[in-house]
Amino acid sequence: MQFRDLHRQYEAMKAEMDEAMLNVAASGAFIMGPQVAGLEQLLAEYVGVKHCISCANGTDALTLALMALHIGPGHAVFVPDFTFFASAETIAMVGATPIFVDVDEDTYNIDIADLNEKYYDIIENSSLIPKAVVAVDLFGQPANYKRLHEFCSGLALHLIEDGAQGFGGSIDGRRACSFGDISTTSFFPAKPLGCYGDGGAIFTDNDEWATLLRSLRVHGKGTDKYDNVRLGLNSRLDTLQAAVLQVKLRHFGDELKAVNHVAQKYTELLQGKVKTPVVPEGYTSSWAQYTIQVENRDEVQARLKAASIPSMVYYPRTMSQQTAFAELGQQPCPAASRLSQTVLSLPMHPYLTDNEIETIASHIINHN
């Protein structure tokens, strides 16, 4: 059994995919071919925002968003303590200071009460200027954007949505990657919408930021190709990846239905026996991960392993516990620290069968 079965996915769309990839090979337009602009338009329509700017990966997408918002040295940016490293790494890479905020143990997303506390702590006890919140749609579920919007607009903070895991989720019918002033995603193969290598995208309704982002992703280019008006990155999406993503996007609606079926089935079988994920009313998840919480994690993981069932710990260390951030001297957040000890992610993908789900669940529940 595979944790995320990309072979079954390829088999399900092989003819279309082979044709799309061979077309790119034959065209020779490997950089900024027509499939890139075509994909950007499709993604902007899907998400429901004005601009989509594709780029090389989800980490660059965050870096570019921070650059477009002129975030740098002397600035504080709030980010969950429980997330993938890139959410916080990019803040430090542009020279700003990441401030780690605790998360909600039901949704795994940023805890607004702790965000409020950390904000006033920075105002009162540091010389840093608070500039932005990077909210993460962890494991596929959008963060609490209703409250985040209130909080950020009241304090003139930018809201960045790190939707690397959230693409395809929604709140009250509105799609993920539309909730930030600038939102970002990743097309890393194992993400909800993945390509066949690295890829990423940035979303915004703001015309000025969109223009700036298009410049920043190609060496800070101006209107004249050989007059660079600012420093930027080399961060384009390959034409081949754009072609792959156009095929995958056609199947994405069906895949979302399938992962939601898998999640529902897991929850039916596991509820009351282990802590299962909580999806609040009005929210939908794209199920980048199905993550349970168990006190005896090593034991459960060993039992699964003995039955050849892969499982993963996302994440065994919080941001404040990362060696790279030790010099910041921030205390680990209590809920994030507890989660790092108890979370376990189970196989999750659209091609998992009911039989497989039942087998996995039985090995979690049965304590022989």
Nearest to 299, CA basis, from 361, 359, 363, 357: 363
Q: For ligand PLP, give the closer residue by CB, 237 or 243.
A: 237
Peptide bond into 315 cis (omega under 30): yes
Is residue 59 a contact point for ligand PLP (CB under 6 A)? yes
| Span interacting with ligand PLP, options 29-37, 78-86, 167-175, 315-323, rule CB under 6 A | 78-86
Cα end-to-end distance, the chain, whole Å: 22
Is residue 43 a contact point for ligand PLP (CB under 6 A)? no
User: Which CA distances in Å does 117 have to 44, 62, 180?
Assistant: 35, 25, 21
Pick from 58, 130, 142, 194 the residue near ligand PLP by CB under 6 A: 58
Pick from 9, 35, 63, 83 the residue near ligand PLP by CB under 6 A: 83
Distance CA 186, CA 189 (A): 9
Is residue 107 a contact point for ligand PLP (CB under 6 A)? no
Q: For ligand PLP, give the closer residue by CB, 265 or 325.
A: 325
* Bridge partners, residue 158, by sequence: 132
Pick from 46, 84, 108, 151 the residue near ligand PLP by CB under 6 A: 84
Distance CA 184, CA 23 (A): 28
Is residue 186 a contact point for ligand PLP (CB under 6 A)? yes
Q: Roughly what angle, to the nearest 10 degrees, separates helices 58-68 and 85-93?
A: 40
| Span interacting with ligand PLP, options 52-60, 107-115, 171-179, 234-242, rule CB under 6 A | 52-60
Pick from 9, 35, 54, 57 the residue near ligand PLP by CB under 6 A: 57
Tokens of residue 283, six digits = 């929210």
Which residues, 113 to 132, sit near ligand PLP by CB under 6 A?
none
What residues contact 121, with CB distance under 8 A and at least 6 apart? none
Which residues, 129 to 148, sit near ligand PLP by CB under 6 A?
136
Is residue 89 a contact point for ligand PLP (CB under 6 A)? no
What residues contact 191, with CB distance under 8 A and at least 6 apart? 58, 164, 165, 167, 185, 288
Pick from 54, 87, 284, 330 the residue near ligand PLP by CB under 6 A: 87
Shortest Cβ 61–ligand PLP spacing (Å): 7
Sign of the four-CA dihedral 231, 205, 187, 108: positive
Q: List the x/- string, 200-219, binding to ligand PLP by CB under 6 A.
A: x-------------------
Which residues, 290 to 319, sit near ligand PLP by CB under 6 A?
none
Q: Is 197 left (phi over 0), alpha (psi -120 to 50) or beta?
A: left
Which residues, 1 to 30, sit near ligand PLP by CB under 6 A?
none
Nearest to 187, CA basis, from 4, 58, 41, 39: 58
| Span interacting with ligand PLP, options 82-90, 99-107, 143-151, 203-211, rule CB under 6 A | 82-90
Is residue 180 a contact point for ligand PLP (CB under 6 A)? no
Tokens of residue 363, six digits = 């090995």
How many residues bind ligand PLP (CB under 6 A)? The answer is 15
Pick from 111, 181, 198, 255 the residue near ligand PLP by CB under 6 A: 198
Nearest to 202, CA basis, from 181, 229, 174, 228: 181
Q: How many CA atoms lie within 13 A of 233 on its CB side?
A: 23
- Interface with ligand PLP by CB under 6 A: which residues? 57-59, 83-84, 86-87, 136, 162, 164-165, 186, 188, 198, 200
